[in-house]
Amino acid sequence: MSVNGFAGRVRSREKLVGYWITLDVPPVAERIARLGYDYVVLDGQHGLIGYQGLMTGLLAIDAGASIGPRPTAGLVRVEANDPTPIGRALDAGATGVIVPLIDTADDVVRAVRAAKYPPAGVRSFGPMRASLRIGPVPADSNAQTVVLAMIETPLGLKNVAEICATPGLDGVYVGPSDLGLALGARFPGDPEIEGPFEEAVELIAQTAQEAGIAAGIHTFDGDSANLRIEQGYSFATVASDLSHLEASAAAHLETARQSFPS
């Protein structure tokens, strides 16, 4: 059985807060995981992490969670909707996968089948590290790992109802940067498309709720995460290690130079 019960928490739409890791630095993942986040995501799509980094990052998350105040699950955003990266992330011990660039219900079917052992799917058996975290029995793994589909493209937004209704999907996850670009933004956070963007964000949360699945979203700070959860999202991810590192360094630099001649 899963050591953290994360799948059940997602499926019951418990309110959860997570964190995003882009750097291949296991001690960072370990320190973040000990803070009490409900989940920590390792970014295998745009992050600076290879497969070895995903495995050691998941090890670090488990180590940090073991001394933290609450259970923390390790998730992976995989590089593509393909059985190989999905299966390898789960074999390395991920409690779930976030699958990018989902356009249609058929895309969801492929993702779910890649993440599940037969007869529910086509995942090849070889749970190297996962057997220690979730168990070697395929049915247990099918039940205790989650599949989350990213809504971030024009087609994904158009087909959101069909996507949410696809059997086996545990939740959807909004990528705000790509969703904004899909709505015509010139750059992520473009204020000119704020209205349509907020309408889309609300639609996705409502559609997921009506389908009985979880809805998550990436945010850029704790205030924004809290706002999205108040709006109906069941889970929200806060920023990332790289963005926080840069912002903190810039703030300290500005403070240190306050007494310098202008």
The helix (run of H) or strand (run of E) holding residue 39 is: strand 39-43
d(CA 17, CA 70): 12
Please give the structure tokens belonging to residue 209. Answer: 């709720």
Q: Does residue 172 sit in helix, strand or coil?
A: strand
What amino acid occupies position 53?
G
Residue with tokens 């953290």: 4
Active site (annotated) includes residue 46: yes
R_g of the chain computed on alpha carbons: 18
| Class of residue 37 by CB neighbours under 10 A (exposed 0-12, middle 13-18, buried 19+) | buried
Partner residues linked to 215 by β-bridges: 172
- Alpha-carbon distance of 24 to 3, in angstroms, equals 24
The label of the residue with tokens 């998550």 reads: 216
Structure tokens at 112: 């779910």
Burial of residue 11 (CB within 10 Å: 0-12, 13-18, 19+) is middle
Which residue has 């498309």 as its token pair? 193
Q: How far apart are CA 148 and CA 99, in angstroms?
A: 6
Question: Number of H helices and number of E strands within the chain?
Answer: 13, 8
Instruction: Please tell me which residue in 46, 218, 244, 252 is annotated as part of the active site.
Output: 46
Q: Which positions are catalytic?
A: 46
